[in-house]
Amino acid sequence: MQPPRTCEDYLSEFRHCKSFRNRFHHYYTYGTAPSCQQWKADYHNCSEWERHKLTEAKDALQKSERRRLEEQKNFTPVWKLRQAPPGDWHRPLDQETQQDS
Backbone angles phi, psi at 98, to 5 degrees: -70, -35
- The verdict on pTM exceeding 0.85 is no
Q: Quick: pLDDT tens for 29-47.
A: 999 999 999 999 999 999 9
Which pLDDT band holds residue 100 (cuts at 50, 70, 90)?
low
Domain boundaries, the chain: 7-72
Burial class (CB in 10 A: 0-12, 13-18, 19+), 92: exposed
pLDDT at 73: 87
Q: Is 53 left (phi over 0), alpha (psi -120 to 50) or beta?
A: left
Q: Quick: pLDDT tens for 43-99.
A: 999 999 999 999 999 999 999 999 999 998 888 778 888 899 888 888 888 765 555
